[in-house]
Amino acid sequence: MPSTESQQNRLKEWFPHTSKPFIANAPMLGFADYRLATAVTKAGGLGFIGGAFDFSPSSTQLAKLDSELIKARTELGITDSGTLPIGVGFITFTPSGFEENVVPLLEKHRVSAVWLSFPKEDADHGPLIHAIRDARVKSEWSVKVFVQAGTVQGAATAAEQGADVIVVQGTDAGGHQWARGASLLSLLPDVRGSLGDVYDVALLAAGGIVGGEGVCCCVGSRRGWDCYGDEAPASIKDSIVKAQDGAFSTVKSVRHDVFQSTDVFPRQYDGRALVGISWNDAQSGVSDEEVIRRYDEAIKQGDDHRRTVWAGASVGSISSVLSVSDLMEQIQQEVKLTTASIMGCI
């Protein structure tokens, strides 16, 4: 693998508007819209929009993505049809339609990066990566492929299949993740060691990073940013800021999805979220049917307090809502101060 320094240089070369260390926001579907992504890009990171998991021709997610990408270009003041310094993320466990309906859309908008996550099997990104790489050669499109992996085997497969960047996701992460995984502290060196000198990829660390401990990092839970997506109720920001001791106040389980009837991910994934009302009800013996009924009733009444708040184990360190530019500056400053003593850096 290239050294840390040369990975940093390569990311800078691929995404010239970014500053060092490289920081990206996670492409959180339903949470990371064009406003968050453009704010991150403007602040010197790589902004990602959460794109879609439905790749059918009639997908409303893809129609929305099309208009989000137009808004992103306008927001960044890019008037020509050149590269858009924005990436888009996709959840891939139902990959059908990706090649026909997604790749042409991304190519039309000349996005800089595509982030693939949560395949049915660790290996089934092959055809998707192939389709993107094919289009990039044919139309001189300078797009890079990011693949999120939560196991050593998944990372090796992604490298083998032609990913340019592997996002190494540890189990401290907020949101969906590999049910059998490990924290970044163990996973990152393990991935690095197993890829050895064979693969020419860059690594990006994700999971539990809210400050300067990560050198090339992706930030998800630290999302109490001022331009947070439309769909997020204010109660989510409040709960994240108020939560302390992420080891105690978050839990990794499939049940967060069960309680709100969103249990659609393959069984190799679960998710980390705040311990909430539904979780506590179930712990005190309320049946799943009744928890789901209470959830549905609350949503009908316009009450968000039972909604799953996807958040990582590091929520305890999030005590304020910062603007994107302040947060990026803070993380970069902290990296400069702590680089000498970090362990898990790439």
Ligand X SMILES: Cc1cc2nc3c(=O)[nH]c(=O)nc-3n(C[C@H](O)[C@H](O)[C@H](O)COP(=O)(O)O)c2cc1C
* Residues near ligand X, by CB under 6 A: 26-29, 31, 50, 89, 91, 117, 148, 169, 172-175, 206-209, 218-222, 310-312, 314
Min separation Cβ 30 and ligand X, Å = 7
CA–CA separation, 312 and 205 (whole Å): 14
Whichever of 103 and 311 has its CB closer to ligand X, that residue is: 311
Whichever of 9 and 316 has its CB closer to ligand X, that residue is: 316
Whichever of 128 and 173 has its CB closer to ligand X, that residue is: 173
Contact 324, 218 (CB under 8 A): no
CA–CA separation, 331 and 217 (whole Å): 10
Min separation Cβ 77 and ligand X, Å = 27
- Residue in 144, 128, 220 with CA at minimum distance from that of residue 177: 220
Min separation Cβ 41 and ligand X, Å = 17
User: Using CB atoms, what's the residue nearest to ligand X?
Assistant: 220
Min separation Cβ 134 and ligand X, Å = 23
Whichever of 14 and 265 has its CB closer to ligand X, that residue is: 265
- Residue in 315, 346, 22 with CA at minimum distance from that of residue 189: 346
Q: What angle do CA 315, 312, 203 make, to 5 degrees?
A: 120
Three-class SS state of 244: coil
Looking at 17, 109, 130, 176, which residue is catalytic?
A: 176
Min separation Cβ 42 and ligand X, Å = 20
Q: What angle do CA 85, 158, 41 make, to 5 degrees?
A: 15
Rounded to 10°, the helix 34-42/324-338 angle is 50
Q: Find all residues with CB under 8 Å of 284, minimum gap 6, and list them.
A: none
Concerning whether 256 is annotated as a catalytic residue, the answer is no
Whichever of 242 and 293 has its CB closer to ligand X, that residue is: 242
* Tokens found for residue 20: 């060092």
Number of H helices, E strands in the chain: 13, 11
Min separation Cβ 80 and ligand X, Å = 30
How far apart, in Å, are the Cα atoms of 79 and each of 75, 84, 111?
10, 10, 14
Whichever of 102 and 311 has its CB closer to ligand X, that residue is: 311
What amino acid occupies position 291? V
Instruction: Give residue 81's region: left, alpha or beta (phi > 0; psi -120 to 50).
Output: alpha
Whichever of 1 and 219 has its CB closer to ligand X, that residue is: 219
- Residue in 288, 262, 287, 284 with CA at minimum distance from that of residue 273: 262
Q: What's phi and psi for 196, nearest 5 deg?
A: 50, -140
Min separation Cβ 198 and ligand X, Å = 25
Active site residues: 176
